[in-house]
Chains A and B, each alone.
Chain A
Amino acid sequence: MIRKFLLLSFTLGSSLLFIFQLTTLQLFNSDYTERSLNNAVQKRPIYPTRGLIYDRNGTLWVANKPVYDLMVVPENLNAFDTLELSKSLKITKETLLTQIQEAKRFSRKLPSVVMRQLSLAEVGILQEKMWKYTGFYFQKKSTRDYLLPIGANVLGYTSETNQNEIKTKSDYDLGEMIGRQGIEKTYEEVLRGTKGEQLFQKDRFNRIIGAYEGGAYDKASEAAEDLTLSLDAVLQAYGESLMNNKRGGIVALEPESGEVLALITAPNYNPNLLVGRDRSKFFNKLVQDTLAKPLFDRSLQAEYSPGSPFKTLNALIGLQENVITSETIFACNEGHFYARGAFMGCHCRVGTKSDLKKGIYNSCNTYFAKTFMRIIESKPTPEEGVNLWKTHLEKFGLGNYLGYDLPIGKRGFIPDSEYYNRWYPKGSWGATNVVSNAIGQGEILTTPIQMANFTATIANRGYYRKPHFKKTNSLQERDSLYPINQTSIDTQHFETVIEGMHQVVEKGTARIARIKGIEVCGKTGTVENFIRLNGEKTQLTDHSIFVAFAPKDEPKIAVAVFIENGYWGARWAAPIASLMIEKYLNGEVKRGWLENRMLEGSLQSEYEKPLLGKAFTINE
């Protein structure tokens, strides 16, 4: 009996099962209708054009320009002259055919990109022939257009998102523009705007036949905000030209507000190189230049010994801790013995007696070594002394990230007792072991922007606001975003140091930085430096450093200039800083001879020395 009904019951059973499943799928589940709608309605994002970027004076710096992607819908292709099209596109026929093949593999009905980011000029040539190429069309997009080819290190760059990124960034589409570095990255949310969405109805052939429901569900895009930078484009451009054929950085700040007026790293590159189809080609070139490192922002990322400008900070700490007064006099005999058998040289002649001001404008090593030892020894143990010293320095924004609004930076380094305890078994070190820090050599490291920042702090007589690159809209916004950071040095102590710095320019080590009509205060620096060449520690020509601010009263600009292997402070850094100040305050430079010397001067031969594989002399 059961034998007869076996297949019969299987058949009936499965029919019932199927109809039950059909009932749930088709009658009691609107979910599937909706999901079918997703297939039948095409969503197209609308990208607002990226926000424009202006300099502090309202000069348009970064705009957008249209580029065109050549698209293909394989289904609509007819036979065409592949050779002619590939020639017009300046690609090989094989490349073109592979692209079309890949498009077919992706989808016959949906558009694929054949060639990315063609310029308007390139499209113009093709446009009149497009009737021959059915199935191809241009899709307009927008990329960055750098009207001023400067400031690449500050602005950063944009590029299309890739397959990996969209996995983690859910609100980005594949190929959408995203800020990668600098301002473009920090202010991505502002510059990007809010993208909209357009819905299109597709017909049963999967072709778009118009807006879905008359556009009722479309979302308009919200325009991006424009951005005004604190940078002065004229000063930035001038600084970049002064750095021709040199390596190093310039940072110019407005002391009162903390606004960055110019941030120059050298060598740099034209930001327009990183736009368009050849982006990756140029980017790879920049990455591969491991000698000059154009992508390395020396003004933010390079940690150098600060050299003599650092003496001003030791002077201030000495004054605050009462270990010296502005009248304290130290004697120097071409240097001094700071411990038995340990001599620190100085360029002061034998028998020189300096007070604090003279110590600064003559940059007397002895004066500050003695001051520094007194600071360290003012406490019962050198550990406490060093830590006290460090606490003061941290208030100047040293030894840590400054917290400015660019995505890169370095901490620099200020040693503490723990650090020295690691190097010397506990208790076996004293002021004499760490005395190099007195003259800005030793263990301390600072970045050029940190140097500019402590210079601005001196100019402000004891406080700073975090350096920043976006101009704030109001004073209230400035005060809330960038409140005053007060140092631990009393205001009255600054005047002596500032007077010393003024004398540096008037009669000291940097008389070349004098500007008629402007009271400039500055401090030169000459920093010994070493590299490892074929496994041997090799000394290179000294770095040339200058920090300055002007005018002496109510300062408008503070500058730090760092020229790698520029020999001594007054040789390159001081003139460049002085020219920057003159350009910014006077709007024009009268000292044409100095300007020319700086514009045309090159240090390339200096940079090639260690690469040639021959013995070389330094500081010549």
Chain B
Amino acid sequence: MNNPFLLRIDWLSFFLYLILVSFGISNIYSTGFTEESLSLFEWTTPAGKQFWIFIFSLVLFPFVIFINSNFFEHLAYVFYGLSILSLVGLFLFGQKISGATSWYLIGGFSLQPSEFAKITTALFLTARLSSIQMDFKKRQELFKLFLVIGVPLLLVLLQPDAGSALVFIALFFVLFREGLDMRIFYLALALVIVFILTLLFQPLNFSIALAVLFLLVFRFLKKSNSKVKKTPFLLVFVTLVFFSLSVNFIFNNVFEQRHRDRFNVVLGLETDTRGIGYNINQSKIAIGSGGFSGKGFLNGTQTKGGFVPAQHTDYIFTTIGEEWGFIGSSGLIILFTVLILRILYRAEKHTQPFPRIFSYCFASMLFIHFFVNIGMTLGLVPTVGIPLPFISYGGTNLLAFSLMLFVYLNLDANRLS
């Protein structure tokens, strides 16, 4: 370890990565564990497959880490272009698996191009944001940025794969970090709140409450500062009420019942434990039954009972909650948080825009996966099919996120060059 470059590598993140993936594979093994379980290294089992992908990723690690950083910056648009092509190609050659055309089947492997599109979009967005002529005040530039995010977003939405679409939306965190008008953020936040309140309390009640609130605030401000004008208040009020009404309309007339159900379950407006609420309910039972220290590795009864669907992929967190208990599951949450915060911390330290922005992209993508996936299994977020990176079973996902981490490590280690 005398090589100063190797010393500059963010080994903490890499170490967290190793722990997370190993932990993930153990839990995938547990979900598929039967009395005559095959060896961990058997390619035919999910755990075995995941294991070999992990090994393959580790083999790639030295190659990625020693590549010249400029390579990513200069070829970003090529990768992006190829990704978009692969996403478009899905509509021609894609394989439909459980309702979404998200996979290519090539020689026994199933590949999910949207996973790679996440890293290439991140790279290309980083390249655009870090270019010298970037200026958030120029409409044209702004429009181009939206396009970079919007094109893959639209393509995955058409598959349809709402989970991946959310990941592209998460890139807005990067835009806000880099100078996008914060008012857009506040507006988005306000709209999300209005959306939830509308569903909870119906538009009429919401509008009345909003009117009262605005009136009080206006009175209060008027007293302290007589220059306050009515018009902006009225405008915002009308906009919010209009939005509330349209939310109601869209929710009831555009959404399909299964979408409505997902929201209703989370908001507590529905408590059907057999039908739509079944997944959430079983997921909560499994996690809740883990108690403080869990039932022990391979000993989860809910995990084996097959009560929770998609347990080795999107609902892997239920196995962790059941077998590892509060200690294991909160430990995992802390590990993830540390990893994300670590990446953000390193990002802020960069003097150059490219590594900083890319690290930010990586952190925001990790965050959205973490937030939506665990939130969903805990019944805090509506059901969206999105894996938990490094943990959930899924070869392409593991490979893509490993690569993204390695690229991050590369850029981070090369901060001095």
Contacts and interface: CB of A to CB of B under 8 A. Distances in A.
Which bucket holds chain A's interface residue count? Answer: 35 or more
A8 to B, nearest CB: 6
Given A25-B288, A32-B289, A36-B301, A6 B177 contact: yes
Contacts, number: 130
Given A7-B344, A109-B306, A204-B304, A22 B287 contact: yes
A32 B379 CA distance: 14
Contacts of B307: 39
Contacts of B321: 22, 25-26
A537 interface: no
Interface stretch (B83-91, B138-146, B325-333): B325-333
B301 A40 contact: yes
Nearest to A21: B378
A532 interface: no
Contacts of A11: 337, 340-341, 344, 363, 367, 370
Nearest to A33: B289
A3 interface: yes
B301 A6 contact: no
Interface in A1-60: 2-4, 6-8, 10-12, 14-15, 17-19, 21-23, 25-27, 29, 31-33, 35-37, 39-40
Interface in B298-312: 298-307
A215 B302 CA distance: 22
B380 interface: yes
Contact of A6 (B173, B291, B336): B173
Contacts of B329: 22, 26
Nearest to B306: A109
A33 B325 CA distance: 12
Interface string A186-225: 0000000000000000111110000000000000000000
A591 interface: no
Nearest to B288: A32
Interface string B101-136: 000000000000000000000000000000000000
A108 interface: yes
A204 B378 CA distance: 23
B325 A26 contact: yes
B39 to A, nearest CB: 18
A212 to B, nearest CB: 13
B34 A205 contact: yes
B364 A7 contact: yes
B16 interface: no
Contact of A8 (B284, B301, B341, B375): B341
Residue from B35, B285, B286, B367 with most neighbouring chain A CB atoms (10 Å): B285
Contacts of B288: 25-26, 29, 31-33, 35-36
Interface in A531-554: none
Nearest to A10: B367
Given A22-B326, A27-B326, A7 B370 contact: no
Nearest to A37: B289
B165 to A, nearest CB: 18
B285 A108 contact: no
Contact of A7 (B182, B299, B363, B379): B363
Contacts of B287: 22, 25-26, 32
Interface residues of B, number: 54
Nearest to A40: B301
A32 B284 contact: yes
Contacts of B291: 26-27, 33
A35 B179 CA distance: 50
A105 to B, nearest CB: 13
A36 B285 contact: yes
Contact of B375 (A18, A32, A33, A204): A18
Contacts of B177: 3-4, 6-7
Contacts of A14: 367, 370-371, 375
Contacts of A25: 284, 287-288, 321, 378
Given A7-B177, A11-B340, A204 B298 contact: yes
Nearest to B378: A21
B360 interface: yes
A384 to B, nearest CB: 64
A189 B373 CA distance: 51
Given A8-B341, A22-B287, A204-B301, A15 B173 contact: no
Residue from B34, B173, B305, B329 with most neighbouring chain A CB atoms (10 Å): B305
A205 B333 CA distance: 28
Nearest to B340: A11
Nearest to A11: B340
Nearest to B179: A3
Interface in B275-320: 284-292, 298-307
B348 interface: yes
Nearest to B371: A14
A35 B285 contact: yes
A3 B182 contact: yes
Contacts of A26: 287-288, 290-292, 321, 325-326, 329
B182 A2 contact: yes
A108 B341 contact: no
Contacts of A22: 287, 321, 326, 329-330, 333, 378
A4 B284 CA distance: 35
B301 A27 contact: no
A19 to B, nearest CB: 5
B255 interface: no
Interface string A83-120: 00000000000000000000000011100000000000
B169 interface: no
Residue from B35, B176, B285, B289 with most neighbouring chain A CB atoms (10 Å): B289
A206 B306 contact: yes
Interface in A406-448: none
Contacts of A107: 306
A239 B322 CA distance: 69
A533 B289 CA distance: 72
B334 interface: yes
B5 interface: no
A226 to B, nearest CB: 40
Contact of A36 (B34, B35, B289): B289
Contacts of B337: 11-12, 15
Contacts of B284: 25, 32
A96 B176 CA distance: 62
Nearest to A12: B337
Contacts of A10: 173, 367, 371
Contact of B306 (A3, A4, A17, A108): A108
A40 B173 contact: no
Residue from A11, A21, A22, A23 with most neighbouring chain B CB atoms (10 Å): A11
B364 A18 contact: no
A327 B143 CA distance: 119
B294 to A, nearest CB: 9
A39 B307 CA distance: 8
Contacts of B34: 205
Given A6-B185, A21-B378, A36 B302 contact: yes
A11 B367 CA distance: 7
23 contacts: A3-B176, A3-B178, A7-B363, A10-B367, A18-B330, A19-B330, A21-B380, A22-B287, A22-B330, A25-B321, A26-B288, A26-B325, A26-B326, A27-B292, A32-B287, A32-B288, A32-B289, A33-B291, A37-B289, A39-B285, A39-B305, A40-B301, A107-B306
Given A19-B330, A32-B288, A35-B289, 18 more contacts: A3-B178, A7-B364, A10-B371, A11-B341, A15-B334, A15-B336, A15-B337, A21-B379, A23-B326, A26-B292, A35-B288, A36-B301, A39-B285, A40-B302, A108-B306, A109-B306, A206-B301, A206-B304
Closest A-B pairs by Cβ, 7 of them: A32-B288, A36-B289, A40-B301, A25-B288, A15-B337, A26-B326, A204-B304
Interface of B: 33-35, 173, 176-179, 182, 185, 284-292, 298-307, 321-322, 325-326, 329-330, 333-334, 336-337, 340-341, 344, 348, 360, 363-364, 367, 370-371, 374-375, 378-380
